[in-house]
Amino acid sequence: MNSETGEQADAAEPFRLVIVTGMSGGGKTQASRYLEDLGYFCVDNLPPIFIPKFVELCKHAGGHVGKVVLVVDVRSREFFDVFVHTLEVLDRDDVPYEMLFMDASDETIIRRYKETRRRHPMAPSARISAGVAKERERLALVRAKATYVIDTSDLAKATLRDKIHRLFGLGGGDQMNINVLSFGFKFGMPLDADLVLDVRFLPNPFYVEEMRHKSGAVPEVAAYIAKWPVTQEFLSRLDNMMDFLVPQYVKEGKSQLVIAVGCTGGLHRSVFTAKHIYDRLAGQGYPVRIEHRDLMKNDVHEHVREEC
């Protein structure tokens, strides 16, 4: 039975080889990190001459290495000269691959090098502009064979991430990961939130002595917060908003969505609302996790943990 399951998994996800190359300073490192987040096995600075043998090893790994990224650039020095020939070998042997060429304008690359104070690999003792010109000439044939070319000159990191996801994700079968996070405003805003909900307007159990040290996930506290008309109307509107927004983010190709819910201390109202969102999204079949960032920074006597 396990072997049948394995065969079905292999059929659903065949071997996929992505070669990332391009201009130094064009964004290859960032692109490979986003591909790694998508589950690709990434190898950086592999000499092109070793690519055919490496691919052969991956294919004989029993399905353990299904998605591979090879980052190849001029750091390989003399080995890079055989890059085009290596690509021709892959074509001849009917090895399917996609090549992503990361590029940027000369002005952008020069600015990036000056900001990092690094030497250009093609001109370690000369001006950066000379190295950029030499590298662009050397990469002309490679760029012409690229499957995709991404110019990062005016591209925000989030936009690049989404482009990578759309090109190399699992397509229609891939699911967006959702993280629901409760927090307390007095401990600071979460930096990675995509959506932030402020629920400090809801009735606060903190002022009810027997609930002060119990979290918003405890049934007694949850019932107290939920009984008020303002809470009921808010949850109704919240559900409608989530029912609209989440499918739009999935359709847009977003790989991760962080929904942050904040109250004053992150103990009662934010925990209650975050759990409501989590339960609803989990019930709809979304891959969702919940975290109460600041819960234990309070004096908590009772809490009910969710099963993620």
**pTM for this model (two decimals):** 0.54
User: What is the pLDDT at residue 9?
Assistant: 38
C-alpha torsion angle, residues 293, 294, 297, 303 (rounded to 10): -80
157 and 27 within one domain: yes
Task: Give the closest residue to 295 by CA, choosing from 276, 268, 258, 259.
Answer: 268
Task: Give the closest residue to 37 by CA, choosing from 194, 251, 255.
Answer: 255
Count of other CB atoms within 10 angstroms of residue 208: 14
Domain that holds residue 257: 177-297
84 and 29 within one domain: yes
User: What is the pLDDT at residue 7?
Assistant: 39
Q: Which of 173, 197, 230 is the endpoint of a domain?
A: 173
Q: Report the domain count for the chain.
A: 2
User: What is the pLDDT at residue 64?
Assistant: 63
Asked if 72 and 28 touch (Cβ cutoff 8 Å), the reply is: no
User: What is the pLDDT at residue 1?
Assistant: 34
154 and 222 within one domain: no
C-alpha torsion angle, residues 34, 37, 39, 43 (rounded to 10): 60
194 and 144 within one domain: no
139 and 239 within one domain: no
| Digit-coded pLDDT (tens) for 121-168 | 777 777 888 888 988 988 898 889 899 999 999 888 878 887 888 788
| Digit-coded pLDDT (tens) for 44-74 | 988 888 899 888 888 776 556 678 999 988 7
User: What is the pLDDT at residue 20?
Assistant: 95
HSE-CB at 163 with a 13 A cutoff on CA atoms is 17
Q: Which of 173, 205, 236 is the endpoint of a domain?
A: 173
Which position has the token pair 């591209």?
Answer: 155
Parts of the chain with a pLDDT under 50? 1-12, 171-173
User: What is the pLDDT at residue 78?
Assistant: 62
Domain assignment of residue 306, yes or no: no
Domain assignment of residue 140, yes or no: yes
Taking CA 228 as the corner, what is the angle to CA 224 and CA 231, rounded to the nearest 5 degrees?
100
